[in-house]
Amino acid sequence: MKSKGLRITPQRDQVTEIALQQEDHFEIQFLINETQRIYPKISPATVYRTVSTLCEAGLLSETLQSNTGVTLYEVHHSAEHHDHIVCMDCGKIVEFHDEQMEEAQQAVTRKLSFEQVRHKHVIYARCGLLKRK
């Protein structure tokens, strides 16, 4: 898998395993904490380096900013693309996919003579929990 000239080390193993276990979006700090629980002497620098390696390898992707502005990562499911709704009140993140919207994007991009590479589409909304209180 990562046998593309990359060495397999206990540190990378540990970080990779924890990262890939996550079903949700997570921040680097979480990964650092979790890894240090098991492997106390790992350095944050190594986690950063490993995460960017995993991103390049296509196993993770840096998806979005949380409602507080922190960078979040998620396991990259090559399957299908999705976008995000972030709740500004409780921070909850919901994924969605809308084919019609994707097509509209392609249309706009082409109309302006661009070739779309990727996009970042985040809707900031309120789930209503606060209002009900």
3-state secondary structure of 113: coil
- The interface partner of residue 66, options being DNA, a copy of itself, none and the CB cut-off 5 to 8 Å by kind, is none
> What are 99's two structure tokens?
């084919």
Q: Report DSSP state, residue 109.
A: H
**Angle at the Cα of 84 (from 132 to 131), degrees rounded to 5?**
10
Residues numbered 75 to 94 that lie near a copy of itself (CB under 8 A) are 85, 87-88, 94
Instruction: Pick between residue 50 and residue 63 the one whose CB is nearest to DNA.
Output: 50
* 31 lies in the binding site for a copy of itself (CB under 8 A): no
- The interface partner of residue 21, options being DNA, a copy of itself, none and the CB cut-off 5 to 8 Å by kind, is none
* Nearest CA-CA partner of 64 in 84, 81, 38, 44: 84
* 49 lies in the binding site for DNA (CB under 7 A): yes
| CB distance 9 to 2 below 8 Å | no
* 42 lies in the binding site for DNA (CB under 7 A): yes
Interacting residues toward DNA by CB under 7 A: 5-12, 28-29, 39, 41-46, 48-50, 52, 70-71
